[in-house]
Amino acid sequence: MKVLLVGSGGREHALAWALAASPLLSRLFVAPGNAGIAGVADCVPIAASDFPRLVGFAVETGIDFAVIGADAQLVGGLWDAFEAAGIRALGPSKAAAVLEGSKGFVKDLCAQAGIPTAAYRRFRAPEPAKAFADSLGWPVVIKADGLAAGKGVIIAASKAESDKAIDFMFEGGFGNLVDLGASAPGRTEIVVEEFMTGEEASFFALSDGRHAIALAGAQDHKRVGDGDVGPNTGGMGAYSPAPVLTPALEAIAMEKFIRPTLAALAARGMAYMGILYLGLMITKHGPKLVEYNCRFGDPEAQVLLPRLKSDLLTALIAARDGMLGDFDLRWSPETALTVVMCNKGYPGTPEKGHVISGLEEAAKISGVTIFHAGTEWRGDEIIATGGRVLDVTALGATVAEAQARAYEAVRCIHWDGCFYRSDIGWRALKR
316 binds, options ligand GLY, ligand AMP, none, Cβ within 5 to 8 A by partner type: none
Nearer to ligand AMP, 148 or 313 (CB): 148
- The CB-of-239 to ligand GLY minimum distance in angstroms stands at 12
- The CB-of-316 to ligand GLY minimum distance in angstroms stands at 18
Displacement of CA 380 from its chain's centroid (Å): 31
Give residues 133-172 in contact with ligand GLY (rule: CB under 6 A): 150
Of 79-87, 90-98, 296-304, 412-420, which segment contacts ligand GLY by CB under 6 A? 296-304
- The CB-of-197 to ligand AMP minimum distance in angstroms stands at 7
Backbone torsions φ then ψ of 182, nearest 5 degrees? -65, -25
- The CB-of-356 to ligand GLY minimum distance in angstroms stands at 23
**252 CB-near residues (< 8 Å, 6+ apart):** 286, 287
118 binds, options ligand GLY, ligand AMP, none, Cβ within 5 to 8 A by partner type: ligand AMP
- The CB-of-112 to ligand GLY minimum distance in angstroms stands at 25
- The CB-of-259 to ligand GLY minimum distance in angstroms stands at 22
Displacement of CA 28 from its chain's centroid (Å): 22
Displacement of CA 395 from its chain's centroid (Å): 20
d(CA 8, CA 44): 11
100 binds, options ligand AMP, ligand GLY, none, Cβ within 5 to 8 A by partner type: none
Is residue 299 within 8 A of residue 391, CB to CB? The reply is yes
Q: Which of 80, 163, 298, 391 binds ligand GLY (CB under 6 A)?
A: 298
What Å distances lie between residue 346 and 64, 246, 389, CA to CA? 37, 33, 10
Nearer to ligand GLY, 149 or 397 (CB): 149
Residues making contact with ligand AMP (CB under 6 A): 118, 141, 150, 153, 193-196, 200, 222, 279, 290-291
Nearer to ligand GLY, 77 or 237 (CB): 237
Nearer to ligand GLY, 14 or 63 (CB): 14
Max distance between CA atoms of the chain, in angstroms, equals 60
Is residue 203 within 8 A of residue 304, CB to CB? The reply is no
d(CA 267, CA 201): 28
Does residue number 22 form part of the binding site for ligand GLY (CB under 6 A)? no
Does residue number 36 form part of the binding site for ligand GLY (CB under 6 A)? no
235 binds, options ligand AMP, ligand GLY, none, Cβ within 5 to 8 A by partner type: ligand GLY
d(CA 332, CA 336): 9
Nearer to ligand GLY, 150 or 350 (CB): 150
d(CA 396, CA 381): 30
Give residues 229-288 in contact with ligand GLY (rule: CB under 6 A): 234-235
Dihedral (C-alpha) 89, 81, 14, 181: value to the nearest 10 degrees? Answer: -150
Does residue number 300 form part of the binding site for ligand GLY (CB under 6 A)? yes
Burial 181-199, CB ≥16 within 10 A → b, else e: eeebbbbebbbbbeebebe
319 binds, options ligand AMP, ligand GLY, none, Cβ within 5 to 8 A by partner type: none
Of 175-183, 292-300, 316-324, 393-401, which segment contacts ligand GLY by CB under 6 A? 292-300
Quote the strand ranges of 116-242, DSSP E: 120-123, 140-144, 153-156, 190-194, 199-208, 212-220, 223-225, 229-232, 237-240
d(CA 340, CA 222): 11
Does residue number 297 form part of the binding site for ligand GLY (CB under 6 A)? yes
Give residues 337-366 in contact with ligand GLY (rule: CB under 6 A): none
d(CA 52, CA 59): 11
- The CB-of-304 to ligand GLY minimum distance in angstroms stands at 11
Nearer to ligand GLY, 80 or 291 (CB): 291
**Interstrand relation of 335-343 and 418-419 (parallel, antiparallel or unpaired):** antiparallel
Contact footprint for ligand GLY (CB under 6 A) = 150, 220, 234-235, 293, 297-298, 300
